[in-house]
Amino acid sequence: MTRRAVVGAAIVDDLRRPTRLLAAQRAEPSSLAGGWELPGGKVEPGEGPIDALHREVQEELDVRVRLGDQVPGPLTAAGAAWPLGASYAMQVWWAEIIDGTPEFGPEHQAIRWLTPDELYDVAWLTDDLPIVQRLEAAFRCTG
Ligand SMILES: Nc1nc2c([nH]c(=O)n2[C@H]2C[C@H](O)[C@@H](COP(=O)(O)OP(=O)(O)OP(=O)(O)O)O2)c(=O)[nH]1
């Protein structure tokens, strides 16, 4: 079965020396509401993942970002994506804001900038935990 493509942004304060990660708390659907995630969403038919990520970040947070490297996940056949349940695969890129101040819209109930020591202070969606661990390792290397 082919997994539906999702993209996520690991938005940090500074791509070269990250000290904070932006986490967003979902408002919907009820099964996921309250859980924390990386901003992003589904890639639309005919859309490339990078375009989708820029679109989602603009829609959800009203900011423009510069993308850094991809944060590779274990699903190599799905473009180094991370599994989300059985149906989705999320490609993740590092990102930094180049225009705007993030404001959450109807998709979210809150956003937070987390230091490496605060990374697990929020209730990440279950499938995000391995991704956050990977991000944490990168923070600790460059911090
Ligand atoms: N965006 C995002 N989605 C995630 C993460 N972790 C995780 O399990 N998911 C799940 C939640 C959803 O089932 C799916 C992504 O869907 P979404 O609801 O964010 O996509 P979308 O913005 O395009 O929403 P919609 O138009 O379909 O309502 O992936 C994450 O870190 N970021």
> Which CATH number goes with the domain that contains 90?
3.90.79.10
Closest CA to 40 of 84, 100, 80: 84
Nearest CA residue ID for atom 21, ligand 1: 41
Q: Give me ligand 1 centre to Cα 116, in Å.
A: 24
Q: Please count the structural domains in the chain.
A: 1
38 lines ligand 1 (CB under 6 A): yes
63 contacts: CB under 8 Å, gap ≥ 6: 57, 97, 99, 100, 101, 102
Q: How far is residue 75's CA from residue 95's CA, in Å, rounded to a whole number?
A: 21
pTM of the model: 0.97
Give the pLDDT confidence score for residue 140 in this predicted structure: 82
Q: Give the span between the Cα atoms of 115 and 18, in whole angstroms.
A: 9
Interface ipTM > 0.90:
yes
At 143 the pLDDT is 55
Rounded Cα–Cα distance for residues 59 and 78 (Å): 25
pLDDT, residue 139, reads 87
Q: Which residues of the chain have pLDDT under 50?
A: none
